[in-house]
Amino acid sequence: MAITVGDDVPAAAPADAAAGLRDEALAGRLRLRHLQCVLAVADTAHLGRAAERLCITQPAVTKTLNELEALLGQRLFERSRQGTRVLEAAAPFLRHAREALRALGAAVDSVAPGREAGALRVGALPTVAAALLTPVLASGLARDPALRLQLHTGRNAALLAQLRAGELDLVLGRLGDPEAMAGLAFEPLRAEPLVIAMRPGHALAPDVAGRGPAGGPARRGGHGPGPVPPPAGLDGVPPPASFGACLLLLPLPGTQIRQVADAFLARHGLVPRAGLVETLDGALALALVQDADALWITPLSAVVRELAAGRLQRWPTAITPSEAIGLLRRADSPPGPAALRLGAALRSVAAPRDATVTRRPRARR
């Protein structure tokens, strides 16, 4: 609404002018830390985890949220002992806050020294980074002088939160919960099962278990013979229930692949009796497999190179359902030239399925 005064010059109506003054006052008191804090709480749904992400204390997070809600005159979250839930009225503010931080980051990147055009920030799950990115970077893409790749590894939920916040350009990961996928686009590259990896000659390897109770070959490092093999089935493959006699290596709790692994253990009544290690550290897991006769339940991509080289062996049956691996990006941000080149290279690498993957039958349409 405008009022014409004198020489057809528009002047703000009193109500519009008052609103403008309130907006200016709010903008003058709103700080970057308010936006960073509210998005961290929205992404993690937990005050404590938001504090860890921001490297501040939980009381500082609570204080900052209280300040922001007082400035806006609007509650943004419902808080309980179980965590925090974004209120429906907060959704538009969160969307604009993300866009503001993203625009600010782009502005800084455009003038910051040492940030060349073509720099690409990519997040990847530790279990798939080597299997998919290594062949890509060994190809012609790695020899592109215009590309600078920043690679970040982490858990799927954390990577998706960074992607939504504009801290990453692409993520090589899995589908998340519906809330975590808001505003994100997912392009599946391939599906892979979990496998059970062990050292060659392990007592539970099919070629050893079928020999009877002679005992496995000596462990690496000269630590004596391996465990006595359990009775094998008619096909020479030991039953899953026998795996509990070995140290088990599982993905971290709260991950999608851990849910699949837990379902497998429950389905076969498998109870770990020799210890359990939860990790996404591939180097640690490989060392425990080689030196402690551990069994490693992991995505196939994490061990495919070791299997091909004969440094690991796998239980013949894959653990299903297979989990889709794909490329994620922000739906409202079209990929740039560097992202398009990386996506094309990843598709070419991911297309040929490994022959050892158990294929799931396609559903009829």
Please name the fold of domain 193-322. Answer: D-Maltodextrin-Binding Protein; domain 2 (3.40.190)
Which amino acid is present at 87? L
Query: What are the pLDDT digits (tens) for 5-59?
Result: 334 434 444 445 445 545 666 667 888 889 989 988 988 888 988 888 888 899 9
- Ordered by start, the domain boundaries in the chain are 2-97, 100-108+117-191+323-350, 193-322
Which amino acid is present at 204? L
Tell me the two tokens of residue 297. Answer: 């339940």
Distance CA 94, CA 99 (A): 9
Which H or E element spans position 284?
helix 282-292
- Would you say the CATH fold of 193-322 matches that of 100-108+117-191+323-350? yes
Distance CA 341, CA 149 (A): 12
Query: What are the pLDDT digits (tens) for 190-233?
Result: 888 899 999 998 888 876 544 443 344 444 444 444 454 444 44
Q: Report strand pairing: 119-124 vs 148-153.
A: parallel
Rg (alpha carbons) of the chain, rounded to whole number = 26
Evaluated on CA atoms 170, 176, 179, 182, the torsion sign reads positive
Tell me the two tokens of residue 139. Answer: 């190809």
In CATH, the number for domain 100-108+117-191+323-350 is 3.40.190.10
Kindly report the pTM of this predicted structure.
Answer: 0.60
Tell me the two tokens of residue 74. Answer: 């609007």
CA distances from 69 to 29, 74, 76, 274 (A): 12, 5, 7, 51
Return contacts of 264-268, CB within 8 angstroms, 24+ apart. 264/194, 264/240, 264/297, 264/319, 268/239, 268/240, 268/241
Distance CA 128, CA 125 (A): 6
**DSSP codes of every residue in 114-148:** T--TTEEEEEE-HHHIIIIIHHHHTSGGGG-TT-E
pLDDT of 242 reads 84
Q: Which residue positions in the chain have pLDDT lower than 50?
A: 1-15, 17-18, 21, 115-116, 209-226, 228-234, 353-365
**DSSP codes of every residue in 305-334:** HHHHTTS-EE-SSPEEEEEEEEEEEETTS-
Query: Given 1.10.540.10, 3.40.1180.10, 1.10.10.10, 1.10.357.10, which CATH number is that of 2-97?
Result: 1.10.10.10
Which H or E element spans position 35?
helix 32-44
Tell me the two tokens of residue 114. Answer: 């040492």
